Amino acid sequence: MGIQIYWFTQEGCSGCEEQKTIIEEVAGHFGLPIREIDISYKPEYVRKYQLTMTPTILIVVHGQEKIRFEKIISSRDLEDAIWPYL
* Interval 2-28: pLDDT, tens: 999 999 999 999 999 999 999 999 999
Domain spans in the chain, listed from the N-terminal domain onward: 3-85
Global confidence as pTM? 0.94
The CATH code of domain 3-85 reads 3.40.30.10
Residue partners of 61: CB distance under 8 A and separation at least 6:
2, 3, 85
At 36 the pLDDT is: 97
> 25: which residues sit within 8 A by CB, 6+ positions away?
75
